[in-house]
Amino acid sequence: MASSAPGTAAAPADEGGHMAALVLARGGSRGIPLKNIKALAGLPLIGWVLRAAGDSEVFQSVWVSTDHDEIEKVAKRYGAQVHRRSAEVSKDSSTSLETIKEFLDHHPEVDIIGNIQVTSPCLHPTDLIKVAKMIREDGFDSVFSVVRRHLFRWSEIKKGVNEVTKPQGFDPKHRPRRQDWDGELYENGSFYFAKRHLIESGYLQGGNVIYYEMCAEHSVDIDVDIDWPIAEQRVRRYGYFGKEPLPKVKIVVCNIEGCLTSGTIDLSVDGKEIIFCDGGDFVGISLLKQKGVQVQLISKRECSKMISAMKLDCAVKVSVTNKVQVVEDLGLSWKEVAYLGNEESDVDCLKKAGMSAVPADACAAAQEVAGYICKRNGGHGAVHEFAEHIIQLMGKM
């Protein structure tokens, strides 16, 4: 996974007019505060869909409609343009249709909207490419995403009403086996494509309308907190990680201060340094080595004795003044390097590495360029988390 943010270079003009991707990302959220930029599997949630939209290369422009400064900042990092929505369409009661209409009022050049939901992080460019063809070449006015479910539905019994529940659409005496039943199609909320004239008439679905069936593996929707860990596992397994093939990591280079340790140093009464680290990180290093991945620890300080005390069987380079040079002296291509850093002196290495990560408490400059942002802080399991991420991606190769 490349560490740099994907670009969203405009697709060439095509017959049928200007098609714009539009991601609605309001700052307020009843379920999860600032959900749209909360880290999911190492990326801001919105980053997953912006990457897919940009890499599909079917849109003449990619936009995020937001009312929040931090969301705007993240959107631009992933190559999107930003439309600052008005307060009128930033309320809890505002609808997607109202927000899209406002966007179109400010962008008369747009003929087709691909409204992509930020809460569908397993979206792949291949889906968007097929839908764009359905609009541009097959003559449909609107296309929306669905997923097939095999669920038996029953009528709801209202409180205080004396009645029994009834089956909806099937006969309990002849319950079909799953393999004998096609199931039913449900909107999964991943995207809604529509031509301008439909939206201006008050519809996201209408005219010559058709659905697009997504595979169940890619059909992920996040609404409340309980969805988050499930979505994270699905994205790690089925998500889209960019155009480039996943790099074959041969070595993990890890900054000691602020990554393997917390970066804080206490002094005992006799003047000895006391550092803090997490035993789980030692497990992470061991797991990498079991998979044939080397580990190189580096530090700007002279801390050989400290590392020796940890009894870590891996290479150590201390008193480092040029981190880029140290990595290049390993004799590997940057694509074969995974780099875990936390400070400004790590930025160049994070940009160059085939895979890159920072602890949750890394400096802003390092977080800006990292391909993966850990949930855990330095010295509190970030190395273990990144190791597990690398190993999981190795299983996808």
Whether residue 175 lies in the annotated active site: yes
Say if residues 207 and 198 touch (Cβ distance below 8 Å): yes
Say if residues 348 and 323 touch (Cβ distance below 8 Å): yes
C-alpha to C-alpha distance for 389 and 272, rounded to whole angstroms: 35
Name 2's Cβ contacts closer than 8 Å, sequence gap at least 6: 242, 244, 354, 371
Question: Which residue out of 149, 175, 237, 301 is catalytically annotated?
Answer: 175
Q: Give 144's strand partners.
A: 192, 211
Q: Which H or E element spans position 184?
A: strand 184-195
C-alpha to C-alpha distance for 247 and 333, rounded to whole angstroms: 11
Say if residues 301 and 319 touch (Cβ distance below 8 Å): yes
Greatest CA separation found in the chain?
81
C-alpha to C-alpha distance for 267 and 379, rounded to whole angstroms: 17
- Beta carbons within 10 angstroms of residue 266's beta carbon: 9
Q: Give 189's strand partners.
A: none
C-alpha to C-alpha distance for 236 and 228, rounded to whole angstroms: 12
Say if residues 49 and 118 touch (Cβ distance below 8 Å): yes
- Alpha-helix residue ranges (DSSP H) falling in the chain: 45-56, 69-77, 96-106, 125-136, 196-200, 227-238, 279-290, 304-310, 323-328, 347-352, 364-369, 382-394
CA 321 to chain centre: 34
Active-site positions?
A: 175
